[in-house]
Homo-oligomer: A and B are copies of this chain.
């Protein structure tokens, strides 16, 4: 098996390890999976069991400054210091450890998120994508977006989809070395698409998605059908994108999300990411749909709900969900 260090060496190749800048500031958007990344075939290399498909959240994401330091590591999140050995701190430096060298022995990171951290709003996706873009700028690697996607994946799987705006397809790949498991952007542009973020709870998750995935792959009997679900859903999602049928796409996304959460119910000690408020919002969506409103949702490893709908329904849905943040992925 290829280790992470060897994997990075294969991507960066003979590029210089010298940093050309002292600091770089970059932005990467968050992304929401319409067809979920759920389960790894390699934990070491963050290789997924299946393909996935996401929509990026335009201006919502991480603005990150990465600075080389001669003296010490430091991590700031939204202008607060993150203490050493915090889980988030360790994740960031496990990743950055792969890029330290004599010229750049330590790193200082300042990340500003305009979405809540650790609440299933893909903060690690945009966070690691931004770090990757910042490394590329700092070391003047001049890597392609596809190569950067390969690197971002090591930080957090879904980060490999946060290098673009719009619809992004992460190819699972088949190679053991992981070099064919990267994302590509899709050529669809639907300005009428809206994503509505409803934040139920910003407290850190009880179960990290990393841990939940490992448990699910290992113990959920229902997970055995997950690859089949994704294959079916993705095929139909691509057809919907080709036809411009966003309602069909949203319905498929909701079904895919429910299948993912269903696999979690079958753990010996089942996991639910929903709070009572989550269930109330889901019931509200269902009842609006029963009244003829084409509004759908998706949910990740957290209690928050992301509504999927078209611009025509923005005004009426604003009244139904007063706290909703409306994202226009293509405007």
Interface residues of A (CB under 8 A from B): 221-222, 224-225, 228-229, 232, 251, 255, 258-259, 261-263, 265-266, 268, 270, 274, 276, 279-280, 283
Contacts and interface: CB of A to CB of B under 8 A. Distances in A.
Contacts of A255: 266, 268, 270
A221 B266 contact: no
A215 B124 CA distance: 38
B265 A221 contact: no
A201 to B, nearest CB: 13
A276 B261 CA distance: 18
A265 B262 contact: yes
Given A229-B221, A261-B265, A263-B262, A280 B276 contact: yes
Contacts of A229: 221-222, 266
A265 B259 contact: yes
A54 B228 CA distance: 32
A221 B259 contact: yes
Given A222-B225, A276-B276, 6 more contacts: A221-B259, A225-B225, A255-B270, A259-B265, A262-B262, A274-B279
Contacts of A258: 265-266, 270
Contacts of A263: 222, 262
Smallest CB-CB A-B distances: 10 pairs: A262-B262, A262-B265, A258-B265, A222-B222, A259-B266, A221-B229, A221-B225, A279-B279, A224-B225, A222-B225
15 contacts: A221-B225, A221-B229, A222-B225, A222-B262, A222-B263, A224-B225, A258-B265, A258-B266, A259-B266, A261-B265, A262-B263, A262-B265, A274-B279, A276-B279, A276-B280
A222 B265 CA distance: 12
Nearest to A258: B265
Contacts of A276: 276, 279-280, 283
